[in-house]
Amino acid sequence: MDKRIYKINKLLTDYSLGRFDGRLELSENLDDIDAFINGVNMLGEELKDTTISRDYFFNILNSVSDMVFVCDRHGRIEEINQAGCTQLECVKDAIIGSHLDDLQDQAQPSLWQSLYLPLKSGKESVLLDNMLFTHTGKRIPVHMYACYLTNDQKKKSAILVTAKDITLQIESENMLLRAIIDTQEKERQRLAQDLHDSLGQQISAIKFYISATADTIEDQNNKEILVKSNEALVKVLADMRNICFNLMPKTLEEFGLLKAIDELCNQPAYAGKISFHIASSPQFPALKQYIEIDIFRVVQEFVNNALQHGGATRIWMKFHHFKSHVRIVLKDNGKGFHYSEERVFPGRGLQNAQSRIKSHNGELKIKSIPGNGTEYQLAIPIIH
């Protein structure tokens, strides 16, 4: 047999082992075997080029610090980079072939659908924030991006998904919000205390003088004026107590959240306008005071909005207690409104309520549709 056949055979074996540098020289005959050798040499060049570009691609992929996934059209993960494996605390083989939705909370609507459907209907790219779960169950808040990958023929072949861990960003945003809220609360506390201790004491003193004088006065006209003044002052004091309560409920400090909510619902301003239906798990726990103040503020906002905007006549509040968190559901029978997280409202009430709950790593879901009332669902982890 022609010796060149052996050489070709050896060269192809090298290629199959990933060694693409070998080439064979053509003989002087330039016969059929030389034509074959020429083809094999060209194959070697081609294999070398593709391997270099493939290695180049994987080097880039693995040097990106965000998680990068390549998914097929059904959401199956075909490729993942090193950062993805490290952050999801999982080896590559265990992730390849699994579904993108396997990385999220199973109770949530499909993450894959939220990314893929807009692309399918013509959007160039999709951005969204989500929560991913690592192999050991750790939660990672991420900023996600998805777009189509196109092949050489410009055909959309797969979907590229990236996920950036935003834990630190969220923590610093929360710290900033917390600082703003705390300053606001301190200012309210100072104002409530000043009102109560200074104005309140002085009005009480005036009231005492007036009623003492009224008792001694003979003239009926003057007496009546003083009695009326006294009644007006009783009202001023009651109004001031309500203002102080709204600024900073003392009941909350002394007797806790549920008692303060009870007092809120029994405020004269709501009497005859709205009826409250409150239910709570037995032994609803005492939470840290700064968390209770925030929950109280959200309930206050809910009640005010229900009355002011919703024209509600009934409000239901449920306080549930679980091992790791508390869950509070507030509902009104008002006229409802179009709520969506993307919509920016002119007022700050809803936004502040969201910030307050987020700053405790909690979640506030607002559900409202016109004609169907409004519902807030709060979930806040319990810190021991």
Binding region for ligand ADP (CB under 6 A): 301, 305-306, 309-310, 332, 334-337, 345, 347-350, 374
Per rule CB under 5 A, is residue 368 in the interface with Mg ion? no
Per rule CB under 5 A, is residue 256 in the interface with Mg ion? no
* Amino acid identity, position 288: K
Q: Of all residues in this chain, which one has the CB nearest to ligand ADP in the complex?
A: 347
Per rule CB under 5 A, count of chain residues that contact Mg ion: 2
Read off φ and ψ for residue 380, nearest 5 degrees. -130, 125
Choice between 141 and 310, CB closer to ligand ADP: 310
Segment interacting with Mg ion, rule: CB under 5 A, options 151-159, 275-283, 326-334, 342-350:
342-350
Choice between 305 and 374, CB closer to Mg ion: 305
Q: Which residue of 87, 104, 162, 305 would you call a contact of Mg ion, by CB under 5 A?
A: 305
Choice between 6 and 345, CB closer to Mg ion: 345
CA distance 81 to 90: 11
Choice between 95 and 350, CB closer to ligand ADP: 350
CA angle 217, 219, 221 (to 5 degrees): 115
Per rule CB under 5 A, is residue 339 in the interface with Mg ion? no
CA distance 214 to 324: 60
* Amino acid identity, position 43: L
CA distance 75 to 39: 40
Out of ligand ADP, Mg ion, none, which partner does residue 162 contact, by CB within 5 to 8 A per kind?
none
Q: Shortest distance, CB of residue 347 to Mg ion, whole angstroms?
A: 5
Closest by Cα among 303, 298, 234, 229 to 267 = 303
The DSSP element (H or E) to which 319 belongs, if any, is: strand 314-321
- Bridging pattern class, strands 314-321 and 275-280: parallel
Q: Shortest distance, CB of residue 366 to ligand ADP, whole angstroms?
A: 8
Q: Shortest distance, CB of residue 127 to Mg ion, whole angstroms?
A: 29
Burial classification of residue 201, based on how many CB atoms lie within 10 Å of its CB (0-12 exposed, 13-18 middle, 19 or more buried): exposed
Per rule CB under 5 A, is residue 349 in the interface with Mg ion? yes
Instruction: Give the footprint of Mg ion on this chain (CB under 5 A).
Output: 305, 349
